[in-house]
Amino acid sequence: MNRIKVGMADYKVAVAPDILMTIGLGSCVGITLYDPVLKIGGMAHIMLPCSAHYSNNFNKAKFADTAIEILLKELIEMGAVTRRLVSKIAGGARMFEIRSTDERMKIGERNVEAATKVLESKGIPIVAKDVGGTYGRTIELNLEDGSLLVKTIGHGEKIL
Amino acid sequence: MMKIDDISKLNSLYLDVLRELGNIGTGNALTALSSMTGKRLNMRAPLVKILKLSDVPDLLGDPEKKVVGVFFEMSGDVKANILFVLTVNSAKQIINMILNTEAVNEEFDDMEISVISEVSNILVASYVNALSQLMNLKLAITPPAYSMDMAGAILSVPAVQFGEIGDYALYIETDFLEDNDRINGYIFMIPDVGGLEKIMRNLGVDY
């Protein structure tokens, strides 16, 4: 069993019994896809909602829309079937409460909204989520059973 | 005039200027902190860290380590984010020094959080004042926003703006240490890209 680390603006796919993990999600969102029959899955650590708003959008893992596309594409190449896939998402916090006109502080909510919309459009159900709040999260997707462990500091630990 | 569109390719003159800003800002901030705590503080040479986005959460080592972060937005003629980061132990020491208490609890109460916020506010205001004088620019900061959380989640907040233009982030980092190693902290200045151009222009740096 390998623990495969997914960095910020990064994605990985893997097969059971591996574990995919990403550390310190703040306003970023961890998006996971899992095919329970083949026990394969993917995880992306996205920073921004939508690639279309930016001219430099080559890094697909940075945006909710393109990250889901690339995860889906790679999982299908590995034999996954779209209608079997389930998704779990976590993150999208607002780390600092700041009175600001700057929309950047609301980026967490917008990331969650974008991820939800794109997954819906692909017909992939979000079977569990742990989003929002004002605290960071570390997540681990266990490809043996598709469970998602969410760890925090001061807000407990849960398995989705 | 050239436009900065790829911060991974900034030239060395640029980096020297940014280091110098870190130097002057932090020097001023530490003078303020010294007079509040009565302790001597030493700073390390500022570093301009240009990082791939994926490496930002690891900026201070273990991204899951619990730290105290106080976040500010700098506005006015130049926009930037300023992040003051303390180890939990250092935050405790500062609270003890200011309140003359022996805080042992790791969960700070409202009073203790407000001490840290206020100390950070004075510190960061001193930092920004120094920059304002140096560059002859009008600069202001928002009130402090406090968080105690994973280093990775805190450090990633200012990186979002860089994500919008590319795959690298620029953090001007200055570490400081108290004489007896009891206080250890970091001040990060993270200018936005438009801000970088303006800084250079106002300091008469050609690029």
Give B143's contacts in chain A (Cβ within 8 Å): 98-99
CATH of the domain at A124: 3.30.1330.200
Pick the residue from chain B with its C-alpha nearest to A9.
Answer: B54
Q: CB distance A95–B165 less than 8 Å?
A: no
CATH class, domain B4-203, is: alpha beta
- Into how many domains does chain A fold? 1
Mean of the per-residue pLDDT values for chain B?
Answer: 87
Q: What does DSSP say about strands A10-15 and A40-46: parallel, antiparallel, or unpaired? A: antiparallel
Distance from CA of A120 to the nearest CA of B (A): 25
Using the beta-carbon criterion (under 8 Å), do A24 and B66 form an inter-chain contact? Answer: no
Q: Is the ipTM of this complex over 0.95?
A: no
Which range scores top for mean pLDDT: A50-59, A143-152, B42-51, B163-172?
A143-152
- Residue A36: the pLDDT is 97
Residue B103, phi then psi, degrees to nearest 5 = -60, 125
Question: What is the residue range of A41's domain?
Answer: 3-159
More confident residue, B45 or A5: A5
Do A56 and B166 lie within an 8 Å CB cutoff? yes
Nearest residue on chain A to B6, judged by CA atoms?
A56
Which residue of A6, A8, A59 is the best one to mutate when testing the B interface, meaning the one whose CB has the most B CBs within 10 A? A8
What lies within 8 Å, CB to CB, of B190 at 6+ separation is: B80, B81, B82, B83, B158, B159, B161, B169, B170, B171, B172
* Chain B residues near residue A136 by CB distance under 8 angstroms: 149-150, 152-154
**Residue B1 pLDDT greater than 50, yes or no:** no
Pairing label, strands B168-178, B47-52: antiparallel
Closest residue of chain B to A107, computed from CA coordinates = B160
